[in-house]
Structure 1
Amino acid sequence: MGCDGWKPVSFTLEKGRTYSVTFDVYSEIAQDLKFQIVDSADKQILIKSVSVQANTTKTFTFENDFEVSDTCQAKWAFQVGGYGTAGETYKIMIDNIKIMHPDLTVTVEKEDPLANMVKNPGFEQGIKNWGIYTMVGGSATFNASSGEGRLNIKNTGTEDYAVQFFQDGMKLYKGNKYKLKFRYKADTERSAEVRIQQNGGTYIGYLDDKSLTFKNDWQTYEKEFTMDYDSDTAARLCFNLGKAGTASDVNQNICFDDFSLVMTQGSLPEEQKANPIRLNQVGYRPDDSKVAFVVSQDRTFKLYTADDKLFMTGNLPVYKADEKGEVLVDEKSGDITRSADFTNFNLEGSFYIKVRADKSPVFKIEPNVYDGLTAGVLKVFYYQRCGGNGITEEYAGEKFAHDPCHTGKAKYYDPTNEIYGSVEIDVSGGWHDAGDYGRYVTPASKAVADLLLTAEHFPAMADLDFGGPDKILAETRYEIEWMLKMQNPITGGVYHKVTTKNHASMTALPEADKDQLYLSPVSAQATADFAAVMAYAYRMYNKIDPAFAQECMVAAKKAWEWLTANPDANAYVDPSFFGTGTYNDGNAKDELFWAAAELFKTTKEEKYLDYLTSYVAGKSNLDNGFGWADMGSYAQVAYLTTESVDKNDELYKKIKQNFIDHAASIIETWKKDGYKVALDDYVWGSNKDLSDRAMILIIANMLEEKHEYKAAVLDQLNYLLGRNAMDISYVTGYGEKAAKHPHHRQSVINEQAVPGMLVGGPNGYIMDVNGDPVAKMVDEKTPPAKCYADVDGSYATNEICIYWNSPLVYILGYLYQK
């Protein structure tokens, strides 16, 4: 066309916005053209070259493509000359030019430190968030009507706390002042105690007022107090309405209304302020993907050394939008996440991310960044040791060392039982299962299997010194030796568990729990799991200690004999005699599947292969899972890694395809999640489920190597170590914001968490759990990934278990091997 084609148009670009450009071009000839944006001084802001074919219309779009450091006036233009034959005329049409920024502004909520902490303060929502607790003879009911909370006390019990009206979740910070205010009355003149207290442990009273006197007319209570103790973000506001002494039948009606608890002086500690930056608080290996998630409206992030030297500045992408243009909110967390990607930064050292004034925890970048964590997570099994010689100061330190515990003989719970009623045996040893002191065969089997898989798949772990008296296989043997004691030597059946009748008090150390131990019934689940573990143990220990390996093999076969002699044994329901963990399981078929697979891998005997073939042929979808109630994936792994199997055999191909399909479904979940979490659902022990899924991906990668398996595994570890909606490392002692208050008796009593424990994590069904304080701290609007609190009273979100740590050991073993 022989002309330059510049037609400038002026407009405003605003600082802090990310702009997109779109336009349509039609040309009668094939040609290239340039689109340019410059500022008022003709300084180039953007230039794009595009190509269009003859007699076609094409739309060009450059999304989220540029931004300016300061608000400025700008001009756009097209350069379209230099094509065709000089003197001739060609048509070029440019239309629908748009320079725009997505209007995706969102509100990032931050905690108001001066707000009323009491939820449903005027009972407008009925009894929501409030609870009543009765014990030692106390009896009462609670309802709400006409905007009042109403209690009817029928018996005052024998202690002042025999009837307790409460709400959990008060946040008190050391040194701050608070004011509690409410209205109250009763149809009976009486006194009571109002407290704001620690919810567990020693129940310290931060506010402890016994002067409350009820009358028939409404009165207003108002009292200011200073939090003189360590900060507590899950304190209980409660009224002790019982009476010390002799239980008394009464008919007392008490009313409450208009509660408020507010901070009157002080501020939120820095560590308690909402931080929009979520990352792996332990750190990253230099060549791994390194991405933090940011919940903020800001546009940039900066990477600093721990001593405040700026090393990198990066852009945060605009919020993702759905097909309607609406901001895409992560379904499970309710957050709108943006990625701070610093993958290409691989210098070693200690660093933090900063977004405006908010600073992340300091993390490390180094090749062996997980070595200390790996040792700590494995050492938890030593800390959980029961019986024996206790655990010593040499390895556990003065705080966590304890004398031998639970060494007395265990009786069968039902002395009238014809087969087992007279049994009284030594079942000392093994690991305490969780925050309590029970020992249970089915979860123990999962934990042992995970550790044996770790030692087998990642041989470097065999020599890891984790700070205990033994290495991984010797520590695992400590549990196997206890399991051998749980088999009845005559029948071959295995008792499901051994515990006291009820859990020990949260103030009782292991050696102080001297109640009688009881054996539960034999179960098909425990017996099949036992058979699988013992067959696996034979392979792992045969070269180390042939005599011990042979003992395991004999026990495995005897357990299988019990299973074949009792084909109708299936569901296990814990007897009502017990008030300890149940580990009920309605189906033992997956456990038998695993037992047959391990026995076949060890012995190569046809009877076990026949069982596998028949079982797999009868199922369209195989049992999946690495959980104590779902052991099917252990069976699949055992068979798929048996050296003698024909990989072209239909049995092998069906099992492998099932395993790979399971991994593919996990990957699909991972891809969709805002925090890259591979969880469909947040249930009790969600962190275990997440770790189990990472195990599936690691093993799938052994079968068929894929980059996305490896990427997803690292993302799950990132989640556990702090890159999550709660901005917390779920592993005690690892990360600046690590969980500090697990539901674990030794940790509670010693006022310090045993390091290396993986806590249960968010539980989207917590509101259905009776007696857990977190149930009163959330509501129906709380996203499942945020149904969690770091409080020691929460057994449904913050307990620890050996079989929650064990899959994390496997994940870390995978990384340690590399």
Structure 2
Amino acid sequence: MKDLFLKQSILRRAGRVSALALALGLSAGCVVTQGPGAGAAPPAGAGPDASASGGSEPARTNLLKASDFDDNKSLPWNTSFTAPGAGSAEVKKGAYCVTVTNKGSNNWDAQFRHREMVIQKGHSYTLQYKAWASSPTKARPKVGMSGPPYEEYWSDTVILGTEPKTFSGKFTMGKADDATAELAFHIGGAMASAKEPFEVCIDDIRLDDPQFKAAAPVTESAAPKVAVNQVGYLPGAIKIASVNSAATAPVAWELLDASGKPVAHGQTKVFGKDGASGDHVHLVDFTAVKAPGQGYVLKVGEEKSFPFDIGTGLYQKLKYDALAYFYHNRSGIEIKMPFAGKPELARPAGHLSDKSTRCLKDSGCDYALDASRGWYDAGDHGKYVVNGGISVWTLLNWYERTKHLGASSADFADGKLNIPEGKNGVPDILDEARWELEFLMGMQVPEGKPLAGMVHHKMHDESWTGVGLAPHEDKLARFLHKPSTAATLNVAATGAQCARIWKTVDAAFSAKCLKAAERAWAAAKQNPALYAPPGGDKGGGPYDDTDVKDEFYWAAAELFVTTGKPEYKKFLQDSPLNARFPTEVEGGAASMNWRVTDALGQISMAIVPGHVDAAWQKEIRGRIAKAADQYLAIADKEGYRTLIARTHEGKYDWGSNSGLLNNMLVVALAHDFTKQPKYLDGVVLGMDYILGRNPLGQSYVTGYGDKPLENPHHRFWAHQANSKYPKAPPGAVSGGPNSSLQDPYAQSAGLKGCVPQRCFVDNIEAWSLNEITINWNAPFAWVTGFLDEKAKP
């Protein structure tokens, strides 16, 4: 998950352009008329349109889905700025206008583009549009690939004045069909003769192909007003549906089985106005229905839900799919069959050059480290210690929780996951976690070097790569960045966790982990204020953190749980963080994220027996239960019964679903400690929201539900952007609604002013809404494993 401040200033597409590859045909670019409206193109339409000559010319098909902007909508047009390029866009008086505040160095550093169209070999195309600028400047329109190697099929350079002019051009496609082509206007770098800030506007734009055979339009149906968990409900747990209904009095409901026969009925409970969704909500409680079955439908008045199941096996496969996310996103190893699941998801090993990763210029080191293992952080190919830390901790915590408190260790034993290390005598969940641990420890500064024992904060490409790029196709240089105290303490914490877990599994690896952990602790004590710089790094997020008291607490807790040494116990007892379990993180109701980690240490002390005395452990468990009560109280006030509240500003933050998942983890632990059913119900309510019981009727998980997540932001799982790449496998969870709408696609999607739970669109370009990451899938795997365990009789 990238830092919010960074993502306001970067984009997910580097915009590299290959040598010009014009198809043979007419080069465009002539001005055909001048002045507003004179000789404008025919009105835009979705299908073929007859010419004004009574049919003497062939019908023409406009490939563009937004042409005249008279409805104040611009999608799929959106901007793309490569740092330092910067700007924004909006529809003004029926025209699409882009403001450039920094033109950048390259023509493509400031651009706007239209995707979602096919350009076909042998077809002839006509482009016509009106354009103007606030001050005279140039623009470079081009039709070409939307991803690497960015081959072009046509381009032109035009001079824009302050009055609208109509431009046109023609070309014939000489290359193979491109099902994910783009029409882009480059207006940065050398194109920008105007002084910033300046504005470029277009209107009445058409790209016509008279030979194009349009497929029947697919109209997305509206979300059902009766929102349910689209996967289903556990027989013995709470069963709640939320209904978007303006009725002020209760409404009759029926639960229908697969044959349409009513099996239960009742009256809704009027909740009323729900601030997080903007809906007037009713609730249906059908907890009393326990009979397993498939294809149930809830009918409320004349409205019906998506079909769903009631059964004990709902999460048996999902928990494994959630964990498979980590194998798919491994660095430095071939992803191959049968472990990939489907042939199209297989790929060669990525970034083998990471075996000798050198330091970034001016980062103060003269060596190379083996950083070839680990998991890619999110949609990009960066690897970050502080995000890897909480992610691997969560998987290892699940292992410890099942060992000491649970009943499902066997489900994660050797041979249970579909990974290459199966049948090696080690629980598969540990094999997967070890891949990341090797990376984390590999980032430690060697002995004899400045800052020995400290840990490099991150490593990633020198600049951002484009969507539609497999790891092995990424040829950019990659570098180590400076060590940080936060990263060092992440290794101290996870290394200690590793040492106690592997002690009876692999004594040598356990010793290696403990040595790395204690070296890191000592180094961090000597360098307590080395912070990652804030701001927009090219090619990677900063993951900056200038308050590391919580990381010190977390590391001391893990080291104490592992070693029992008095120095770590004293550090904990002297810390002010030892007096409470956090329930508010960065303005939101949460206990932890990658930046705030002291709760992780308390959770380990609450679970693992041994060095933490019984009274202290009981006190911590009580704090966790009280935190869980706060999250349950939030759900009671929410129409869609989710366990996250709006921030003090009334918003949802980036990765809102991850906050929910971590809260569910806390509530699940409260159930483990107390056995009270209300906590199991709380975890169920959270999963209901994730899997469709929300105002959008959206399952935020790929491959699950009637309206599953389809297009998460990811470089390799990029089928929407480029059909040669695969769709995402099942089990990846989206970050979900985000009120701040930091990416250009979201800003163009008509979401301005959206109520929090409606601030979402399922599109690969919407990286501030639809990103997927290791630190979101880790708690998702944790809670799906928990629910599957509790589903068993």
- What is the TM-score with the length of structure 1 in the denominator? 0.71
Counting only pairs closer than 5 Å after superposition, residues 554-573 of structure 1 correspond to structure 2 as 554-566=515-527, 568-569=528-529, 571-573=531-533
> Aligned letter for 1:431?
W
Contact (CA 8 Å) 1:277, 1:359: kept in 2 or not? yes
Note closer, same or farther for the CA distance 1:773–1:195 as it changes in structure 2 (3 Å cut).
farther
1:764 paired with 2:739, answer yes
> Aligned letter for 1:765?
S
Note closer, same or farther for the CA distance 1:487–1:774 as it changes in structure 2 (3 Å cut).
same
| CA distance in structure 2 between the aligned counterparts of 1:293 and 1:543, rounded to whole angstroms | 48
Match of 1:781 among 720, 744, 753: 753
Counting only pairs closer than 5 Å after superposition, residues 657-806 of structure 1 correspond to structure 2 as 657-681=622-646, 682-748=652-718, 749=722, 750-766=725-741, 769=742, 771-806=743-778
1:413 paired with 2:365, answer no
Q: Deviation of residue 713 (structure 1)?
A: 0.7
- Which secondary structure does the structure 1 equivalent of 2:483 belong to? coil
- Which secondary structure does the structure 2 equivalent of 1:395 belong to? coil
Q: Deviation of residue 413 (structure 1)?
A: 3.2
> Aligned letter for 1:573?
P
1:434-487 per-position Cα deviation (integer Å, ceiling 9, x unaligned) = 111111111111111111111121223323723333321111112112222111
| CA distance in structure 2 between the aligned counterparts of 1:279 and 1:457, rounded to whole angstroms | 30
Note closer, same or farther for the CA distance 1:539–1:189 as it changes in structure 2 (3 Å cut).
closer
Contact (CA 8 Å) 2:488, 2:524: kept in 1 or not? yes
Match of 1:482 among 425, 434, 439: 439
Q: Deviation of residue 638 (structure 1)?
A: 2.0
Note closer, same or farther for the CA distance 1:257–1:508 as it changes in structure 2 (3 Å cut).
closer
> Aligned letter for 1:807?
P
| CA distance in structure 2 between the aligned counterparts of 1:716 and 1:615, rounded to whole angstroms | 32
- Which secondary structure does the structure 1 equivalent of 2:296 belong to? strand
Match of 2:263 among 312, 327, 338: 312
Match of 2:559 among 596, 599, 613: 599
The corresponding residue for 1:92 is none
Q: Deviation of residue 582 (structure 1)?
A: 1.5
1:371 paired with 2:331, answer no
Contact (CA 8 Å) 1:407, 1:426: kept in 2 or not? no
Match of 2:569 among 609, 632, 639: 609
Between the two proteins, what is the percent identity of the paired residues? 27
- Which secondary structure does the structure 2 equivalent of 1:579 belong to? coil
The corresponding residue for 2:389 is 445
1:130-166 per-position Cα deviation (integer Å, ceiling 9, x unaligned) = 9755669999998998887767899999998676456
Identify, as 1 or 2, the structure richer in strand. Answer: 1
The corresponding residue for 2:602 is 636
Contact (CA 8 Å) 2:136, 2:193: kept in 1 or not? no
Contact (CA 8 Å) 2:554, 2:597: kept in 1 or not? yes
Counting only pairs closer than 5 Å after superposition, residues 293-372 of structure 1 correspond to structure 2 as 293-296=242-245, 299-306=251-258, 308-312=259-263, 314-317=265-268, 319-320=270-271, 328-345=272-289, 346-355=291-300, 358-372=303-317
Note closer, same or farther for the CA distance 1:268–1:303 as it changes in structure 2 (3 Å cut).
farther
- Structure with the larger RCO, 1 or 2 (CA within 8 Å, 6+ apart): 2
| CA distance in structure 1 between the aligned counterparts of 2:133 and 2:362, rounded to whole angstroms | 52
Q: Deviation of residue 424 (structure 1)?
A: 1.0
The corresponding residue for 1:473 is 430
1:506 paired with 2:476, answer no
1:278 paired with 2:243, answer no
Contact (CA 8 Å) 2:75, 2:749: kept in 1 or not? no
> Aligned letter for 1:487?
Q
The corresponding residue for 1:529 is 490
| CA distance in structure 2 between the aligned counterparts of 1:560 and 1:487, rounded to whole angstroms | 12
Contact (CA 8 Å) 1:778, 1:787: kept in 2 or not? no
> Aligned letter for 1:783?
V
1:382 paired with 2:327, answer yes
Contact (CA 8 Å) 1:570, 1:588: kept in 2 or not? no
Note closer, same or farther for the CA distance 1:655–1:411 as it changes in structure 2 (3 Å cut).
same
> Aligned letter for 1:730?
Y
1:812 paired with 2:784, answer yes
Contact (CA 8 Å) 1:410, 1:516: kept in 2 or not? no
> Aligned letter for 2:412?
A
> Aligned letter for 1:797?
L
The corresponding residue for 2:13 is none
Structure 2 residue runs of 5 or longer lacking an equivalent are: 1-45, 48-63, 119-126, 169-176, 208-213, 403-408, 423-427, 585-590, 647-651
| CA distance in structure 1 between the aligned counterparts of 2:458 and 2:535, rounded to whole angstroms | 11
> Aligned letter for 2:227?
R
- Which secondary structure does the structure 2 equivalent of 1:393 belong to? coil
Report how many residues are paired. Answer: 667
- What is the TM-score with the length of structure 2 in the denominator? 0.73
| CA distance in structure 2 between the aligned counterparts of 1:198 and 1:675, rounded to whole angstroms | 42
Q: Deviation of residue 692 (structure 1)?
A: 0.2
Note closer, same or farther for the CA distance 1:137–1:560 as it changes in structure 2 (3 Å cut).
closer
- Which secondary structure does the structure 2 equivalent of 1:351 belong to? strand
Structure 1 residue runs of 5 or longer lacking an equivalent are: 1-112, 173-179, 223-228, 321-327
The corresponding residue for 2:335 is 391
Contact (CA 8 Å) 1:319, 1:337: kept in 2 or not? yes
| CA distance in structure 1 between the aligned counterparts of 2:548 and 2:88, rounded to whole angstroms | 41
Note closer, same or farther for the CA distance 1:198–1:805 as it changes in structure 2 (3 Å cut).
farther
Note closer, same or farther for the CA distance 1:449–1:354 as it changes in structure 2 (3 Å cut).
same
Q: Deviation of residue 354 (structure 1)?
A: 3.9
| CA distance in structure 1 between the aligned counterparts of 2:629 and 2:260, rounded to whole angstroms | 42
Note closer, same or farther for the CA distance 1:339–1:209 as it changes in structure 2 (3 Å cut).
farther
| CA distance in structure 1 between the aligned counterparts of 2:681 and 2:88, rounded to whole angstroms | 53
> Aligned letter for 1:287?
G
> Aligned letter for 2:475?
K
Q: RMSD of aligned C-alpha atoms?
A: 4.6
Q: Deviation of residue 357 (structure 1)?
A: 6.0
| CA distance in structure 2 between the aligned counterparts of 1:167 and 1:430, rounded to whole angstroms | 35
- Which secondary structure does the structure 2 equivalent of 1:334 belong to? coil
The corresponding residue for 1:579 is 539
| CA distance in structure 2 between the aligned counterparts of 1:368 and 1:438, rounded to whole angstroms | 36
Counting only pairs closer than 5 Å after superposition, residues 92-131 of structure 1 correspond to structure 2 as none
Q: Deviation of residue 196 (structure 1)?
A: 11
The corresponding residue for 1:8 is none
Q: Deviation of residue 762 (structure 1)?
A: 0.4
| CA distance in structure 2 between the aligned counterparts of 1:304 and 1:212, rounded to whole angstroms | 62
Contact (CA 8 Å) 1:501, 1:517: kept in 2 or not? yes
Contact (CA 8 Å) 2:90, 2:748: kept in 1 or not? no
1:693-715 per-position Cα deviation (integer Å, ceiling 9, x unaligned) = 00111112233333322111100
Note closer, same or farther for the CA distance 1:639–1:786 as it changes in structure 2 (3 Å cut).
same
Match of 2:412 among 459, 462, 480: 462
Note closer, same or farther for the CA distance 1:555–1:360 as it changes in structure 2 (3 Å cut).
same
Contact (CA 8 Å) 1:659, 1:700: kept in 2 or not? yes
1:294-346 per-position Cα deviation (integer Å, ceiling 9, x unaligned) = 2135834443344x4323353442633xxxxxxx3111111122223332222
Note closer, same or farther for the CA distance 1:330–1:119 as it changes in structure 2 (3 Å cut).
farther
Structure label with greater radius of gyration:
1
Contact (CA 8 Å) 2:140, 2:191: kept in 1 or not? no
Note closer, same or farther for the CA distance 1:230–1:454 as it changes in structure 2 (3 Å cut).
farther
> Aligned letter for 2:460?
T
1:72-129 per-position Cα deviation (integer Å, ceiling 9, x unaligned) = xxxxxxxxxxxxxxxxxxxxxxxxxxxxxxxxxxxxxxxxx99x9979956999x999
